[in-house]
Structure 1
């Protein structure tokens, strides 16, 4: 199965290396970046992109690289999806901004209507739009605290929720997200996550034991009656694409329902067909009280959303929610184009197919290479965890070297994980099968060279 070419007229869907990676023009631009941009703004692969679409990115030197990153799950429908481009081009000629809180426009309402209809659950919902995943998470917590009159928020090991003060506090990993940026926000508590590969008594016990420990911690250390919200990623993203053991999320949701706690699903990275469902919650039938989305929502334009039970969101006083740029009309039109593309090109099913192809190849690597400790994920959101052979000791050095070799051969691959030892793969859902297989072969050679 292949998909249509994207990315402007005649952008070839092929890997093409005409210089070393990065090439001379990219190196020149990177030198400019170093003198103009703080070093704290890191770069995974310093190739400067001039065009992208389908399954490739083209750099300033004319190299065409296979994209297994999608801008960290943002360009799931491609970097230049025709429906997105058409809608944005029309909108930019009409007007670029009015501020929805001053003089509104229909596209904002249309996006909210779509999300109310598409997100899990058939209860009455409300949606409002902001700029980023972190901003959406913060607002979801505001809504939960307002509705419950409580303050405590529970998050989980290996979770990532953003870089603002509150979301940095919610995030588990110190380096690089929290290091020397404290003090952090109060009333945030962390519970164990059901991490099957690393659960001490084995994956078969993981869901029950992790849920019991989390609930015990909440009851003893906080008091369930003091908890406003539980915030969790259905698949932990930056933490290493950790898929909680089956049954864990339903147990946490059941506890929340029994104790009046708002269950917030952070689907910033997992949403919009990425995992083979429109939303990752659907895999276990989870219906969150609030669902937070961003990244893949608008094809690369800044947009995020908070969607939740009408009684929760309507409880906030007038003027308590919003922001100057939230739901910018260009981003709203892009989002409508993304949703059309997902439906018309059947990208939910496409993500499932990509997952089948990738997991089959990655599991074969696990059988052959002792440094591949775990293969996991769903749909087009999959990962491998690298270990010291014969152990579960994290192997961050091998992970970095494999990524470097992939980059040198024209495959854009990302790392992740609490221990820095996970290679995560987020190909565009419109990538062709040919590019997908070629990328996996590059990865295989890189692992073989390191192993």
Structure 2
């Protein structure tokens, strides 16, 4: 289902031409005006990656106030997987907003929340009876998954992994591994959080079984299984560098959790909802989590998150113990139902696989000609390349930042990540055309060659 270069993209009204176009430098004068207003009005801690004023987006492009059209290889950090303003999502939002925008589900329930919960119960891995609860953000989902696991087990300790990213709230900052910019100066953090070594094939050289044995030994000796409520892990790590664990690592951790009454939580906030070519990345590794945290791509750009899992675990908290004023907002729920319908009826999982094949081919070709690319990894439309010194394999954050800056200046939105700041990740919307994707990668390759 490759999309042609000039395929018009519906925005629920006008269409956007699918091509890169630079009519000014980045940023242009109108964008500079907004950035000046931002500096005067917005807290300095809220940064930005691309110095533009976005005014429209769709397909594979983002258009700024100066008329520049940039190729989008970031999808708002894996949120607009369906592309911006998908027609079904737009229509669902408009229809629901005309009915009511809020009642608070804890006060006056409505069908949309229940329908999203039913869909999550059906779509997440596992054929057991499930329940779901809805929230606003990935961090909220993770935090509530921990609450639920603690209530169910009567234990307090939680294990997260090296290179993990789970959010910016106090508890989820504690779960997150990287200090800058996420944790530095914001402590103290929540208690009873421990860290285990992650499987990182490029850097540790271990098999999945060896890496799992190392992590399990630490959990048994430094924490004790009887004290452990939950193990939480991203099946493919996001901010940590798109790290794909070695085969066998995740199944071994799941088996150990089951044998010891520990709740296994999969954080699928970035890797879920079709991003990797399956609905949830857990499926790639043959694992069935006890709880799954979702957000980002769930609602086509609207703020929504969920925790879904085994009914007996999800039902452990007392009535009133879960919730939030905006959790499962009706407009966001309508958007999610439309997004899920699109995933299931428009061949988007197949499109993610097509994109993954294209990305892997181009990136490995680039790697073969440039030894500074130490690793290419990922699945589907969630791919990355890691930059390192060709001799020592020391992370090269400076090169990574320079390539990203140069690509953005030429009208291609790319995002960096990684504990060491040395990974460029590719998260294109599934509605991007092959032509735009190739052009974006050409520009990234030219930026690398120039540095």
Shorter chain as normaliser: what TM range?
over 0.9
1:421 counterpart = 2:422: yes
1:446 counterpart = 2:429: no
Contact 1:55–1:78 (CA under 8 A) maintained in structure 2: yes
1:317 counterpart = 2:321: no
1:179 counterpart = 2:180: no
In 2, the alpha carbon distance for the partners of 1:354 and 1:30 equals 33
Alignment correspondent of 1:399: 400
Provide Cα deviations, 1:366-404, integer angstroms capped at 9, x if missing partner.
100121111000000000001123231111010000001
Greater mean alpha carbon deviation, residues 4-13 or residues 162-171:
4-13
Matches within 5 A, 1:282-297: 282-297=283-298
Give the aligned length.
446
Contact 1:6–1:78 (CA under 8 A) maintained in structure 2: no
Contact 1:195–1:206 (CA under 8 A) maintained in structure 2: no
Deviation at 1:207, TM superposition (A): 1.4
Runs of 4 or more, structure 1, over 4 Å off, are: none
In 2, the alpha carbon distance for the partners of 1:219 and 1:344 equals 45
1:32 counterpart = 2:37: yes
Alignment correspondent of 1:211: 212
Alignment correspondent of 1:268: 269
Matches within 5 A, 1:80-99: 80-99=85-104
Alignment correspondent of 1:432: 433
In 1, the alpha carbon distance for the partners of 2:389 and 2:315 equals 52
In 2, the alpha carbon distance for the partners of 1:306 and 1:399 equals 34
In 1, the alpha carbon distance for the partners of 2:322 and 2:359 equals 41
In 1, the alpha carbon distance for the partners of 2:207 and 2:42 equals 44
Deviation at 1:59, TM superposition (A): 0.3
Q: Secondary structure at the match of 1:446?
A: helix
Alignment correspondent of 1:6: 10
Q: Secondary structure at the match of 2:293?
A: strand
Q: Secondary structure at the match of 1:349?
A: helix
Deviation at 1:341, TM superposition (A): 1.0
Deviation at 1:443, TM superposition (A): 1.0
Provide Cα deviations, 1:137-186, integer angstroms capped at 9, x if missing partner.
00000000000000000010000000000000000000000101111111
Q: Secondary structure at the match of 2:256?
A: helix
Matches within 5 A, 1:40-439: 40-199=45-204, 202=205, 205-439=206-440
Provide Cα deviations, 1:392-451, integer angstroms capped at 9, x if missing partner.
11110100000011001110000000000000010001111111111111111111111x
Q: TM-score, normalised by structure 2?
A: 0.98
Q: TM-score, normalised by structure 1?
A: 0.98
Structure 1 unaligned residues grouped into runs of 5+: none
